[in-house]
């Protein structure tokens, strides 16, 4: 087979790139290791920056998102007895929207299928060849038969454990990582959200987050030990602990119910440099991971897609390689700012095992400064709604 862009990974970033390229007449093939049902069954983030929303509209897949999303003009932050809101709309003139990653992926699958897009599922032994040459190709197995795709470029959208990053030699790539000494226990429940905005809460028992997917589907998280498993937490124990960590006025009105999904995610900050090697480009989790605090994971993947899509468009439409030549530089400049915001917000509201009394006083002072200072809130809001591409 022959295509212009081979895309490794059939999650939202790979599908979004494929759909954007299709609308400009640029051919692609998407390879996905799992089944479509498996990809759609993954429970992931649901807060979209304005830049991501704009990309969905440019890709022609925004109708259901625009009709069903929940617009968030701000957020609530609590820390002990401190409680205040940050008004994104007032501070930046913008907002974020809540629309689950599963729904984003579903919309993109439907668009690619309607357009006759080539998506190959349950691929094995995916290997990227000659990425540092002018003639890369990709081989893979399906049902025991090897297939080959010759292409102009390869987009690695296959996540942290995928083959794309590992294809870049260790003599070329450098990796930066910070592991946090806790995880997030999250549940999904068919209950109305406790508040119309998200609540980020720090307490002496640890962090908690109240979020939602729609008016009758809520997503809640609590900081937990890395040694915990979902089976260690009954639903009753989770709800009891969540109520202890959020402001009393919200704990009193919290509607509880059976969990329909429960999982624990470790927290990590990770970046690999460069994000380009020859004709191979890394996007999303293949190149970087952020803690979920601040909701930057899916959104940083979207910014990568923006830079790569525009670079490829410039190359094919104008014969100009400037966009793809500077892809890694542009993407990493924005990624490190998102990493900083996620790291800072995590440090602001979580309890760390080695914190002493001085550390806690500094943490309280940071929260107080954010509450009292409009300029600090403006910086927070700018980062939350999404820095410009």
Span 247-271, average pLDDT:
96
Task: Tell me: pLDDT of 384 over 90.
Answer: yes
pLDDT tens digits, residue range 92-125? 999 999 998 999 999 999 999 999 999 999 999 9
Q: What is the pLDDT of residue 294?
A: 87
Q: Is 291 a catalytic residue?
A: no
Whole-number Å distance between alpha carbons of 162 and 149: 18
Q: What is the pLDDT of residue 42?
A: 79
220, 315, 327, 384: which is the annotated catalytic residue? 384
Q: What is the pLDDT of residue 44?
A: 73
Q: What is the pLDDT of residue 209?
A: 97
Give the model's confidence band at 316: pLDDT under 50 very low, under 70 low, under 90 confident, else very high: very high
Is 186 strand, coil or helix? strand
Q: Is 221 a catalytic residue?
A: no
CA-wise closest residue to 54 among 297, 305, 294 = 305
Q: Where are the domains of the chain?
A: 5-72+96-177+268-346, 180-267+351-385
200, 221, 309, 315: which is the annotated catalytic residue? 200
- What is the model's pTM? 0.95
Q: What is the pLDDT of residue 213?
A: 85
12, 136, 291, 292: which is the annotated catalytic residue? 292
CA-wise closest residue to 4 among 138, 205, 162, 141 = 138
Buried b (16+ CB within 10 A) or exposed e, 278-298: bbbbbbbbbbbbbbbbbbbbb
Give the model's confidence band at 322: pLDDT under 50 very low, under 70 low, under 90 confident, else very high: very high
Task: Tell me: pLDDT of 375 over 90.
Answer: yes
Q: Is 137 a catalytic residue?
A: no
Task: Tell me: pLDDT of 187 over 90.
Answer: yes
Q: What is the pLDDT of residue 330?
A: 98
Is 88 strand, coil or helix? helix
12, 22, 72, 262: which is the annotated catalytic residue? 72
Q: Is 195 a catalytic residue?
A: no
pLDDT tens digits, residue range 4-38? 999 999 999 999 999 999 999 999 999 999 999 99
Q: Is 307 a catalytic residue?
A: no
Q: What is the pLDDT of residue 86?
A: 98
Topology given in CATH for the domain delimited by 180-267+351-385: D-Amino Acid Oxidase; Chain A, domain 2 (3.30.9)
Per CATH, domain 5-72+96-177+268-346 is 1.10.3720.10: no
Give the model's confidence band at 41: pLDDT under 50 very low, under 70 low, under 90 confident, else very high: confident
Burial (0-12, 13-18, 19+ Cβ within 10 Å), 236: exposed
Task: Tell me: pLDDT of 253 over 80.
Answer: yes
């Amino acid at each position: 087979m022959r295509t212009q862009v081979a895309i490794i990974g059939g999650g939202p970033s790979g599908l979004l790139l494929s759909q954007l390229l299709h609308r400009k007449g640029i051919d692609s093939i998407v390879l996905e290791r799992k089944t479509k049902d498996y990809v759609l069954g993954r429970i992931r983030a649901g807060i979209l920056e304005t830049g991501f929303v704009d990309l969905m509209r440019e890709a022609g897949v925004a109708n259901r998102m625009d009709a069903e999303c929940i617009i968030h003009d701000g957020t609530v932050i609590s820390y002990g007895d401190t409680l205040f809101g940050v008004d994104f709309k007032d501070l930046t003139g913008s907002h974020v929207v809540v629309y689950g990653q599963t729904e984003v992926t579903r919309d993109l699958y439907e668009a690619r299928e309607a357009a006759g897009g080539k998506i190959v599922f349950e691929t094995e032994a995916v290997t990227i060849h000659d990425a540092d040459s002018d003639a890369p190709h990709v081989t893979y197995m399906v049902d025991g038969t090897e297939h080959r795709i010759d292409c102009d470029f390869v987009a690695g959208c296959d996540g942290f454990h995928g083959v794309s990053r590992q294809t870049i030699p260790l003599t070329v790539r450098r990796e930066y990582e910070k592991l946090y000494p806790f995880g997030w226990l999250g549940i999904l429940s068919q209950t109305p959200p406790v508040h119309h905005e998200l609540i980020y809460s720090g307490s002496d028992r640890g962090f908690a987050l109240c979020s939602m997917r729609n008016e009758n589907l809520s997503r809640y998280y609590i900081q937990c030990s890395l040694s915990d498993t979902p089976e260690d937490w009954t639903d009753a124990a989770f709800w009891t602990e969540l109520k202890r960590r959020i402001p009393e006025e919200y704990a009193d009105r919290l509607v509880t119910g059976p969990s329909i999904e429960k999982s624990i995610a470790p927290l990590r900050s990770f970046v690999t440099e460069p994000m380009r090697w020859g004709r191979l480009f890394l996007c999303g989790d293949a190149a970087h991971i952020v803690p979920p605090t601040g909701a930057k994971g899916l959104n940083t993947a979207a910014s990568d897609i923006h830079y790569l899509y525009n670079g490829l468009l410039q190359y094919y439409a104008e014969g100009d390689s400037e966009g793809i030549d500077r892809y890694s530089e542009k993407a990493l400049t924005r990624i490190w700012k998102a990493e900083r915001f996620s790291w800072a917000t995590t440090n602001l509201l979580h309890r760390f095992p080695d914190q002493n009394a001085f550390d806690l006083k500094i943490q309280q002072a940071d929260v107080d400064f954010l509450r009292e200072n409009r300029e600090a809130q403006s910086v927070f809001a700018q980062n939350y709604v999404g820095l410009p591409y």
